[in-house]
Structure 1
Amino acid sequence: MTDQLQTAPVPAPPRDASPLGPVALTTLLFGAFLPMLSFFIINVALPAIGGDLHASSGELQLVVGSYGIANATLLVVGGRLGDGFGRKRLFLAGLTGFTVLSLICALAPTIGVLLAARVVQGAAAAAMTPQVLASISSLLTGEHRARAMAWFGVAGGAAAALGQILGGVLVEADVFGLGWRAVFLVNVPVGLLALGAALRLLPETRADQAHQVDLVGAGLLALTLVLLLLPLTEGRPLGWPLWTWISLAAVIPSAAVLGLHQHRAERAGQAPLIPPTVLRLRAMRVGLLLAVGFFTTFGGFMFVFALATQGEAGMSPLEGGLSLLPMAVGFLVTSIYGPRLQLRYGAGLIVRGWLVQAVGYSLLAVVTLMLWPDVSPLRLALPMLVAGFGNGLVMVPLIGVVLGQVPPAQAGLGSGILLTSQQTCLSLGAATVGTAYLSLAGTSWGQGGSLAAVAFAITAISLLMTPITWRLRSR
């Protein structure tokens, strides 16, 4: 069966110089690295943010979720704007806004200001990230493009794996008394360096035919996400008032109106936000299912792990971050060999990743149940290392394998849809998995039992994703 999943050999292209040199490509990949880093680096700082700004658990979930909602809603819009106005121009605008908003987040005096800044920061990231894949697709071909696509996955995954470790170090070090504010300030010098390099090194590209931005579709998508995620985030701490149930009930008609609008726009020859014809491609449908399964559970796990380790387990922010170091190491090891393995195994690599991930999370659940609350970074090292290997084997090749089976003319739209689902599901994970965890943690399960339940649930979902992944075959 593995042979069925292997991708066709990729013919070696002429050994010409890449239009994007190593430094230019690295600069471009910061558009994937920084937004993902900002999503995950704050998880380990959430308890400190809550104590300093007197934020409730629901508001802390929104610190994560509001960024993701804004980012997911506007990713495709950002891609369309880059096609029309120039991808370098939008990349620079997004990176500038992201850097400035990072500074505003760091200086936020109240939780309300922080939440507002996070929304705008997510919008700025949405202007930046789509230009990365679009520039890679327009400037590179053959092996150069395949490797750059793989490094795009590595950049996002490395940011997710390393984010909480860096966050723990920064919060614990408390440089100049900044505490949690340092997790936002760290983006500022990096953003400024990337801006300088991008101005000098990145070439400008545009689409041959620019499409009108589907603002109605973007508004309907934003409404649907808010109707879903806001009550899931705020319902539990507020005792599930009537408006939360009304909001959840409104999700279905809102999504239906969004779907109807997309169909009508496409039939009228317009450019809908989420083209139904692209969703009819088997690779896209399977890829979206895999993205939902991975990013929802991954985003939820990162959120609850930070709360549990700094809660009943009594770890410091640094210890909580160090507990994730083996996961980061596992992820980075698979990332190094990921591009080569992806060319050899294709979707079979993702299948292996789901199975390894299931072993890692099940080991974590067992260790947690046996030792809680006397856990430490060393005692959690083995299950976290195995889970990290699995995470890398799923996440790194996912976008490349799926887009490799999508017609080139639709690859740009496909990447936008996959990135939108990624950000949506990361926020959905913080809302759904976070709410389930917080509800269980307040019962006799405690935080340890709740963390183990989350790990067992991710194990089950990983196994369920395996037969779905078999449907990804080379053309």
Structure 2
Amino acid sequence: MNSSAVSPGRAGLLILLTGQMLPLIDTSITNVALDPITRSLHTTPTQLELIVALYGVAFAVCLAMGSKLGDNHGRRRVFMWGVALFGLASLLCGMAGSVHALLAARTLQGAGAALIVPQILATLHVTLKGREHARAISLYGGIGGIAFIVGQMGGGWLVSADFGGLGWRNAFFINVPVCLLVLALSHHYVPETRSESPSGIDWPGTVYLAMILCCLLFPMALGRELHWPLALQLMLVALIPLIWLMRQNALAKQQQGQMPLLPPRLLKLPSIRFGLVIALLFFSAWSGFMFCMALTMQSGLGMAPWQSGNSFIALGIAYFVSALFAPKLIARYSMGKILLTGLSVQLAGLLLLMLTFWHFGLHTSAVTLAPATALIGYGQALIVNSFYRIGMRDIKKQDAGAGSAILSTLQQSTLGLGPAVLGSMFLALASGGGYITAIVGFLGLEVLLMLLLAAVALSFRQHLSGCPVPSL
């Protein structure tokens, strides 16, 4: 790595963190705008799932490619490419005259996000040391909570204010001036770094991953609405040969001394496998939770976008506070304890949220939701902080980049699939018994998933307590 790279300073750090917030804020804004998008473009609930999910899937598929491009061609350069693409895609999202145009623009936006995000952490690692590095990483970890609050509140306000009669389109247009500002300042304040040993991109592996995720996404999202036609059934069947082909490609590249997208030798490590379990159970449930809650607030309870956004303020604040204090807890306690504590707090919040919806029904408000969502946010931050640290435990230094790429790809893949897989179950419940029954049933399912994750964590606990915590 470019160890002699110049520190970005406060201005550079602020620009990088602003770049990090763009994709995070956009996820929140999109959830807030679901109901206005439905009225404007006459979308079905299934198409709403795809608006959220395609962004996450494109993000996941292009993430490893974005990381390699930054290593090979310069991280500042690729960061600026990503910001430019994200800004263009945001403009196209706001201008979309049909749901199909919006879906295409959202996919492009996910690709832009995948070029932005890997450059930020890599630049911080290479250019900062000691206390400055620790402070920057804490800010990097806590920015999700800030982005969540800004996205929910700012997005809800933008949509409800209806500037220029543009409604939900403002939630996407607001990204354009921010992207232009980041582009204008990046060249002056963000140092250029790149890897001293460039490596090739696993194009076949990237294509196989895209096909696998699409063969999962579209049947799960469209199957119920289209009554499971033969084409969607064949897509699910195609998963088996696609997974086999991706594995064969990875084994061949590994034998040739190249780095495949998902290296088989790293996938055999216990910590990576446990990271896969966390991704499947937690991150899919998290993105599914945000989608189902947004639909319940807007379509079920009739909240305006700003009211829906305000309902998540307590969650965002609790997440931010928890993320800031997480490094101190990690220094004192084992990762097993921190993960289980996070799961316990989140489970308490989920159960309280079930009771809240059950008791208040259609009279549920932002105030009544605050205690439960605050617990959920606090627990979520501990689980997210545990994910990378646990997943990287068995990774050697020379494989740090590949290990981080695997975990990031797993995280984004499951975040993308969550709204489609779990959202379909939620919509099936809503069509039969209404939104309150559906959200209570969904939360019950999420409780079961978190209990399953806790059981796996307990079986893995001895491994966690016996290993040092890696520095991220």
Relative to the length of structure 1, the TM-score reads 0.91
Query: Does 2:104 align with 1:116?
Result: yes
Once the two structures are TM-superposed, the CA of residue 165 in structure 1 deviates from its matched residue by 3.0
Which of 229, 243, 255 is the matching residue for 2:217? 229
Contact 1:151 1:339 in 2 (8 A): no
| C-alpha distance 118-24 of structure 1, shift in aligned 2 (>3 A) | same
**Structure 1 residues 161-215: Cα deviation after superposition (integer angstroms, max 9, x where no partner):** 5423332222112122221111111212222222223211111111121111111
Q: Which amino acid in the other structure matches residue 377 of structure 1?
A: A
2:246 aligned residue: 258
The aligned residue for residue 258 of structure 2 is 270
One-letter amino acid of the structure 1 residue matched with residue 325 of structure 2: Y
Given the alignment of the two structures, is residue 54 of structure 1 paired with residue 46 of structure 2, yes or no? no
Kindly provide the amino acid, as one letter, of the partner of residue 104 in structure 1: L
Counterpart residue number, 1:26: 14
- Return structure 1 stretches of 4+ with deviation > 3 angstroms: 140-150, 400-405
Q: Aligned equivalents of 2:206 and 2:348: distance in 1?
A: 39
Question: CA RMSD for the aligned pairs?
Answer: 2.0
Equivalent position SS for 2:362: coil
Q: 1:143 to 1:345 in 2, by over 3 A?
A: farther
Distance 2:262 2:19 in 1: 22
- Corresponding residue of 1:138: 126
Cα distance in 2 for partners of 1:29, 1:108 equals 28
The question of 1:425 aligning with 2:417 is answered no
Within-5 A mapping of 1:291-440:
291-347=279-335, 348-403=337-392, 406-440=395-429
After superposition, the C-alpha distances for 1:247-299 in whole angstroms (9 at most, x for unaligned) are 11211221121112111111111221111222223222222321222211110
Q: Contact 1:72–1:423 at 8 Å: present in 2 too?
A: yes
Equivalent-residue separation in structure 2 for 1:258 and 1:30 (angstroms): 35
Q: Distance in 1 between matches of 2:269 and 2:421?
A: 28
1:237 and 1:306, CA in 2 relative to 1: closer, same or farther beyond 3 A? same
Q: Residue type of the partner of 1:23?
A: A
The one-letter amino acid paired with 2:339 is I
The answer as to whether partners of 1:147 and 1:339 remain within 8 angstroms in 2 is no
- 1:368-407 C-alpha deviation (Å, 9 max, x unpaired): 1122111111111111111111112222443245436532
95, 99, 106: which one aligns with 1:107: 95
Count residues with an aligned counterpart: 458
2:27 aligned residue (23, 39, 43): 39
Deviations 1:18-61 (A, max 9, x none): 92323322322234321122223201211111110111222111
The one-letter code matched in structure 1 to 2:377 is G
TM-score, with normalisation over the residues of structure 2? 0.92
Between 89-98 and 152-161, the greater mean CA deviation after superposition: 152-161
- What aligned pairs does 1:432-451 form with structure 2 within 5 A after superposition? 432-444=421-433, 446-451=434-439
Alignment match of 1:68 (pick from 33, 56, 63): 56
Which residue matches 1:10?
none
Q: Does structure 1 conserve the Cα–Cα contact (< 8 Å) formed by 2:144 and 2:320?
A: no
Q: How high is the sequence identity, in percent, across the aligned residues?
A: 37
Residue identity opposite 1:343 in structure 2: A
2:299 partner SS: coil
Check the 8 A contact 2:275/2:387 in 1, yes or no.
yes
Residues 315 and 34 of structure 1: is their aligned pair in 2 closer, same or farther, counting only changes over 3 Å?
A: same
Report if aligned partners of 1:153, 1:399 keep a CA contact under 8 Å in 2. Answer: no
Q: Separation in 2 of the partners of 1:386 and 1:142?
A: 32
Instruction: Give 1:327 deviation, angstroms.
Output: 0.8
Unaligned runs of 5+ in 2: none
Deviates more, 1:139-148 or 1:338-347: 139-148
**In 1, distance between residues paired with 2:145 and 2:274?**
20
Contact 1:41–1:167 (CA<8 Å) still a contact in 2? yes
Q: Determine the structure 2 residue equivalent to 1:9.
A: none
Match 1:472 to one of 464, 467, 471: 464
Q: Is the 1:286–1:472 Cα contact (8 Å) retained in structure 2?
A: no
- 2:150, 2:389 → 1: CA distance? 22
Q: What is the distance in 2 between the residues matched to 1:86 and 1:458? A: 41
- Asked if the contact 2:6/2:191 (under 8 Å) is kept, the reply is no
Provide, for residues 406-463 of structure 1, a one-character-per-residue CA deviation record: whole Å limited to 9, x for no partner.
322222112212221121111111001100000111113x211110111122222222
- Cα pair 2:75 2:123 within 8 Å, conserved: yes
Is 1:189 aligned to 2:177, yes or no? yes
Structure 1: state its 5+ residue gaps: 1-16
Look up the match of 2:228.
240
Aligned mates of 2:262, 2:100 — CA distance in 1: 32
Q: CA deviation at 1:79?
A: 0.8
> In the alignment, which residue of structure 1 is the partner of 2:77?
89
State how 1:153-192 maps to structure 2 within 5 Å. 153-160=141-148, 162-192=150-180
Q: Is the 8 A contact 1:18 1:144 kept in 2?
A: no
Given residue 403 of structure 2, which amino acid in structure 1 is its aligned partner?
G
Structure 2 CA distance for aligned equivalents of residues 283 and 302 of structure 1: 27
Q: Secondary structure at the match of 2:367?
A: coil
